[in-house]
Structure 1
Amino acid sequence: MPPHSRELFQEGARIETEKLVSEGKFNEERITELLLHEPAKFAGCSGTRCLADNLNDLKAQVAANQKGINLIGSLIEDYGEEVVQFYMRSIQDNAELSVRNLLKEVSKRFEGRELKAVDYMDDGSPIRLSVSIDGDKGEAVFDFTGTGPEVYGNTNAPEAVTYSAIIYCLRCLIKEDIPLNQGCLSPVTVIIPKKSFLSPSGTAAVVGGNVLTSQRVTDVVLKAFNACAASQGDCNNLTFGFGGNVEGEKAVRGFGYYETIAGGSGAGPDWDGTDGVHTHMTNTRITDAEVFERRYPVILREFGLREGSHGRGQHRGGDGVIRDIEFRIPVQVSILSERRVYHPYGLDGGEDASCGMNVWVRKVPKVQGSDADDAKTNGQANGVAKDSSQQQEYRHINLGGKNTASMQAGERIIVMTPGGGGWGPVGKGSESRQHQRQDPKHSWRGGSVASRQAEAEASA
């Protein structure tokens, strides 16, 4: 997850087509070449840090596929191929019917008007959407014409990402309990302009498209349907580690750690947003604090709610979180995030939520000043020479939304994630009542989240 990738080769191994298993034999030699050796041929690039983990993961996926084959085979043996195929088609037909009914309902609610929405990535790239609904047929055209061009960065998103975001949003809007499947898109036509950053070229960097742009497409779709205020719109992708075989040098055994971090969810017409929750594409569980500290060279200094980061409104948005990690050895740390410039918006009169912020608590040489001069003078007065050039202090450095840094032992990264937007005017409904929440003393490692946030922001 490199924050500054500009070309696809900078994002790891690119495998277009390769046979993994032949006649029951796993082709470990070729996969090792693809994952370890070939990526290291590019300038500044390295092969995998954990080859054994990669090989085991692939073998597990092969086993999972075989298990699926066996289960489908058992179904066919028990019920016959015709019956199995009938129910497979019926599941998709049911999903299609559910979406058609949804679109008919939406068309009636908006009196046949075209639905429009726009949102912006932090670099200013617009995502524009207009949704035209045929209320009689229950069909819709999702048109992204007007979306910004391919970017010289990694927030480009292959077309499959937009399709996935649309099918996800439609499934969220449907009231019936149906399994997610391709039938949801049968009544939908999608127009994605070529050469936009939602339809990039084959060599464009795309690592941020899957985890960041996908969130923004989701926000835009839900905004067009006036369904809810913006959630954090971000995955807060944090990676750190060391090792590899940069530019083909001898491989150094190391490790790589990756996580996405929760934030606030957006409020809706009859609900408050949720504090500190994984929203939309951050649908992962974070590593338990005790396991995190045991397995990696880190101290988790704080993991708690970011008080006051929600958008106010008749229904308040959710608060983001603060995740403060201290490193015990030198590591390369990267953050790939969004909503550090454009706020998660409120809807129907609700207020915007706070942007996120990434802070590096860095050890730097102490600047000559009155304190240093006093210390030097006092030292000389006591007959002891003090070398103030060796003194160090900690500074809070704003990393911005996308950055990488070599952090030393004792240095920290503090990720403050965005909140969720509010819904409806302030002063009505639940916002005017006392909001019950987790006691901030319950944040990991104790202490007040609000006071720590204020301290960090003041220092930054």
Structure 2
Amino acid sequence: MLKEIGLKTLARTGKTELYAEDYMDHGTKICLRVDINAAEGTAVFDFTGTGHQVQGNTNAPRAITLSAIIYCLRCMVGHDVPLNQGCLAPIRVVLPPGSIIDPWEHAAVVGGNVLTSQRIVDVVLRAFSICAASQGCMNNITFGDESVGYYETVAGGAGAGPYWQGRSGVHTHMTNTRITDPEILEKRYPVVLQCFKLNEGTGGKGRYCGGDGVIREFLFRRPLTLSLLTERRVFSPYGLEGGKDGEKGKNLMIYSDGRVVEVGAKNTVHVGPGDIFHLETPGGGGYGDPDCAADDPPAAKRARTSQVPLLSGSVYSYKLLQESA
């Protein structure tokens, strides 16, 4: 795969270096240079230039960063490759010590697993032009008090690709989780699920459109503490090849006295009876010129994938993974 990508990149641009960057919501940059040796089928993944470790908990340990790289390679290779350290044998990874993706000992890291890992995936897939960005967030929501506790993750939109629409209301890249049924949620916890639906139009437009995020609302029936650990509230999931960005997520508190407050991506707030938490998850980015209709017959779609600077099986492998989620 690396040999083929390297040769196609060399023929197209005259060099074998790929580059991409993206930002966490707090402004920290994650950047990647991929230098491919097409003759040997090896590559250097150099994250030099990535921002310093942060005060909060979105630092990703080195193991998480390597896991994200392995995941991307397995998506791209187009074969059923067993998960093992040998996946990185042809790759040399350069991580700046003390950065958000290789922090010093004792750094807070819980958000690095569920959030920063996805931004690393976004950067790798962007460098290889695999697909537009997915929602890039697990939308971690917790609430409780001394007697009860609840934690869930909420789905969003998946990114579109060279010949597929992004899926709506799914988790992408992270382990899939099943959300609690409304009847069980309302029976066991002091909340009412007022709304849970697709947020139509939040996927980025394109030849192939990104998937839509969702809207989810909790009405609280007694005082509780609500905590949020989310991303993509500042920087939108990117589109590719002319596709539009997906919509950013949004976290709102609608208080019983009529106030509406934007509570930000990461926060802890105290809620009372009658207060409503309104969550909008990000949509996926679109792929390709929105003015070009994606109504080609299957044969034309297959022909077009052969022009993508990747193995057709690589793109197809990611599509299958997205559908299985």
Normalised by the size of structure 1, how large is the TM-score?
Answer: 0.62
Tell me the SS of whatever aligns to 1:290: helix
Of 273, 291, 297, 1:409 maps to 273
* 1:195 maps onto 2:94 in alignment: no
> What is the rounded CA distance, in whole Å, between the counterparts of 2:88 and 2:152 in structure 1?
30
Tell me the SS of whatever aligns to 1:322: strand
C-alpha displacement at 1:289, in angstroms?
1.9
Tell me the SS of whatever aligns to 1:325: strand
Q: Deviations over 1:263-294 (max 9, x none)?
A: 00001111111111111125222122222222
Q: Deviations over 1:399-430 (max 9, x none)?
A: 11111111112211111000000001111123
Of 115, 122, 131, 2:25 maps to 122
In the TM superposition, 1:109-188 aligns within 5 A as: 109-111=8-10, 112-188=15-91
The aligned counterpart of 2:319 is: none
Q: 1:415 to 1:343 in 2, by over 3 A?
A: same
Could you say what the CA RMSD is over the residues aligned between the two structures, in angstroms? 1.5
C-alpha displacement at 1:177, in angstroms?
2.3
* 1:356 maps onto 2:249 in alignment: yes
CA contact (8 A) 1:361 1:396 kept: yes
In the TM superposition, 1:96-111 aligns within 5 A as: 102-111=1-10
C-alpha displacement at 1:226, in angstroms?
0.4
> What is the rounded CA distance, in whole Å, between the counterparts of 1:186 and 1:143 in structure 2?
15
> What is the rounded CA distance, in whole Å, between the counterparts of 1:141 and 1:304 in structure 2?
43
> What is the rounded CA distance, in whole Å, between the counterparts of 1:297 and 1:125 in structure 2?
37
The aligned counterpart of 1:328 is: 221
**Which AA in structure 1 matches 2:102?**
S
In the TM superposition, 1:314-325 aligns within 5 A as: 314-325=207-218
C-alpha displacement at 1:431, in angstroms?
8.4
Tell me the SS of whatever aligns to 1:167: helix
* Structure possessing the higher radius of gyration over alpha carbons: 1
Q: Deviations over 1:99-144 (max 9, x none)?
A: xxx2112112212520100001111100010111111221111110
Q: Structure 1: any 5+ residue segments left out of the alignment?
A: 1-101, 244-253, 364-392, 433-460
> What is the rounded CA distance, in whole Å, between the counterparts of 2:219 and 2:2 in structure 1?
49
> What is the rounded CA distance, in whole Å, between the counterparts of 2:115 and 2:173 in structure 1?
11
Tell me the SS of whatever aligns to 2:255: strand
In the TM superposition, 1:18-417 aligns within 5 A as: 102-111=1-10, 112-243=15-146, 254-281=147-174, 283-363=176-256, 393-417=257-281
In the TM superposition, 1:413-432 aligns within 5 A as: 413-430=277-294
> What is the rounded CA distance, in whole Å, between the counterparts of 2:232 and 2:44 in structure 1?
28
The aligned counterpart of 1:11 is: none
CA contact (8 A) 1:260 1:282 kept: no
CA contact (8 A) 2:7 2:16 kept: no
CA contact (8 A) 1:261 1:282 kept: no
CA contact (8 A) 2:204 2:284 kept: yes
> What is the rounded CA distance, in whole Å, between the counterparts of 2:177 and 2:68 in structure 1?
16
Q: Which moved more, 1:176-185 or 1:148-157?
A: 176-185
C-alpha displacement at 1:255, in angstroms?
2.7
Number of matched pairs? 292
> What is the rounded CA distance, in whole Å, between the counterparts of 2:84 and 2:186 in structure 1?
39
Q: Structure 2: any 5+ residue segments left out of the alignment?
A: 297-325
Q: 1:431 to 1:266 in 2, by over 3 A?
A: farther
Structure 1 outlier segments of 4+, above 3 Å: none
CA contact (8 A) 1:264 1:418 kept: yes
> What is the rounded CA distance, in whole Å, between the counterparts of 1:265 and 1:320 in structure 2?
8
C-alpha displacement at 1:179, in angstroms?
3.0
Q: Which has the higher contact order (CA 8 A, sep 6+)?
A: 2
**Which AA in structure 1 matches 2:229?**
L
**Which AA in structure 1 matches 2:164?**
W
> What is the rounded CA distance, in whole Å, between the counterparts of 2:40 and 2:177 in structure 1?
37
> What is the rounded CA distance, in whole Å, between the counterparts of 2:168 and 2:71 in structure 1?
22
Tell me the SS of whatever aligns to 1:413: strand
CA contact (8 A) 1:239 1:256 kept: yes
CA contact (8 A) 1:263 1:419 kept: yes
Aligned residues: percent identity? 56
